[in-house]
C-alpha cells in the first residue's frame, strides 16, 4: 500500500516510516521541505536496506500520493499542516491522526494536556479537511523510541478511534503489519478526546520510572481487531 507519513522527519513519524517500510509498504515521508523529506528517506533506506521503498518530498506531495495518510506532528503546528495538505487530501481518503494536544504547544509541560475547541486534535483536523475525508485517530501511546528500535517487538496496543468502521480496519491492517502490535477499536472519533490524553499519562510513567518506551495493553482477549458488527 502507498502510505504517507506527514511529519515523517520527526522522531515518531520516522519510526512509523521505518516500521511500515520494513513491512513492505511504499512509504513517502512528508516534510515542509522536499530536501529534508528526501534526506530523511535516505536515512531510512540506509537502515532498512535495498528492499524497502521509502521516498521523501513535501507534505503536500506526499499526501497526494498515498492511499492512507498518517499525520505525526506536534499540536502547535497541526492546524497549519492540515490547512497546507487540505487540497491534496481528497474526499474518501483515510487519514490517521496521531497528534496529542500536549501543553508544550503553549509553553507547558509534556505531561499536561490542552482541550481543543472541537474536543480533540483529531476532530480539529477533520473540521479543517474537506468533507468526506475518513478520519481515524491512533498511535498516541506508541513511543517513538519503540518504533525506531527495529530489533525489539513493541509491547503495546494501538487505540484506534473513528466513526468509519472500514477506515479503522484499513488503519488496523497497517498496524497489524508491524510485528507484535495489535489494534483495538475504541469507538467513534469523539473517543479521541480520551485516547489522545493518554500520551501525557505515558510520558508521566516514563518520567517516574526513567524509561522511554512505556505503553498500554488492553487485556481480556488474545486478539482484538475489528469488533463483530
Write out pLDDT tens, residues 174-212. Answer: 999 999 999 999 999 999 999 999 999 999 999 999 998
Give the model's pLDDT for residue 229. Answer: 67
Give the model's pLDDT for residue 109. Answer: 80
Write out pLDDT tens, residues 136-170. Answer: 999 999 999 999 999 999 989 999 999 999 999 99
Residues near 179 by beta carbon (within 8 Å), at least 6 away in sequence: 153, 154
Residue 43 in this model has a pLDDT that exceeds 90:
yes
37 in Cβ contact with 29 (< 8 Å): yes
Write out pLDDT tens, residues 20-29. Answer: 999 999 999 9
56 in Cβ contact with 41 (< 8 Å): yes
Residues near 136 by beta carbon (within 8 Å), at least 6 away in sequence: 94, 95, 96, 97, 122, 160, 161, 162, 164, 167, 168, 171, 189
Look up residue 33 and give its three cell numbers.
Answer: 521541505
Band (50; pLDDT cuts 50, 70, 90): confident
Q: What average pLDDT score do residues 44-54 get?
A: 93
Band (108; pLDDT cuts 50, 70, 90): confident
Band (115; pLDDT cuts 50, 70, 90): confident
Residue 220 in this model has a pLDDT that exceeds 70:
yes
- Domains of the chain from N-terminus onward: 2-209 (3.40.50.720)
Give the model's pLDDT for residue 102. Answer: 82
Among 58, 65, 46, 69, which residue's Cα sits nearest to residue 9? Answer: 58
154 in Cβ contact with 180 (< 8 Å): yes
Q: What average pLDDT score do residues 101-106 get?
A: 81
Write out pLDDT tens, residues 53-99. Answer: 999 999 999 999 999 999 999 999 999 999 999 999 999 999 999 99
What distance in Å separates the CA atoms of residue 6 and residue 59, rounded to the nearest whole number?
6
Residue 107 in this model has a pLDDT that exceeds 90:
no
Residue 112 in this model has a pLDDT that exceeds 70:
yes
Band (216; pLDDT cuts 50, 70, 90): very high
Give the model's pLDDT for residue 103. Answer: 75
Residue 2 in this model has a pLDDT that exceeds 70:
yes
Amino acid at each position: 500500500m502507498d502510505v504517507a507519513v506527514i511529519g515523517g522527519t520527526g522522531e515518531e513519524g520516522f519510526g512509523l516510516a521505518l516500521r511500515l517500510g520494513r513491512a513492505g509498504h511504499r512509504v513517502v515521508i512528508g516534510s515542509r521541505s522536499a530536501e529534508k523529506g528526501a534526506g530523511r528517506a535516505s536515512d531510512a533506506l540506509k537502515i532498512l536496506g535495498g528492499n524497502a521503498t521509502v521516498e521523501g518530498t513535501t507534505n503536500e506531495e506526499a499526501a497526494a500520493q498515498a492511499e492512507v495518510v498518517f499525520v505525526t506532528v506536534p499540536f502547535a503546528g497541526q492546524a497549519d499542516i492540515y490547512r497546507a495538505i487540505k487540497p491534496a487530501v481528497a474526499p474518501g481518503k483515510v487519514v490517521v491522526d496521531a497528534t496529542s494536544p500536549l501543553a508544550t504547544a503553549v509553553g507547558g509541560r509534556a505531561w499536561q494536556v490542552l482541550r481543543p475547541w472541537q474536543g480533540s486534535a483529531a476532530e480539529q483536523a477533520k473540521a479543517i479537511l474537506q468533507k468526506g475525508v475518513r478520519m481515524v485517530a491512533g498511535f498516541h501511546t506508541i513511543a517513538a523510541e519503540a518504533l525506531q528500535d527495529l530489533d525489539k517487538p513493541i509491547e503495546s496496543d494501538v487505540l484506534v478511534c473513528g466513526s468509519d468502521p472500514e477506515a479503522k480496519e484499513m488503519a488496523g491492517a497497517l498496524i497489524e503489519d508491524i510485528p507484535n502490535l495489535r489494534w483495538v477499536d475504541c469507538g467513534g472519533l469523539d473517543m479521541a478526546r480520551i485516547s489522545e490524553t493518554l500520551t501525557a499519562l505515558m510520558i508521566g510513567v516514563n518520567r517516574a520510572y526513567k524509561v522511554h518506551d512505556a505503553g498500554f495493553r488492553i487485556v481480556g482477549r488474545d486478539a482484538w481487531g475489528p469488533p463483530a458488527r
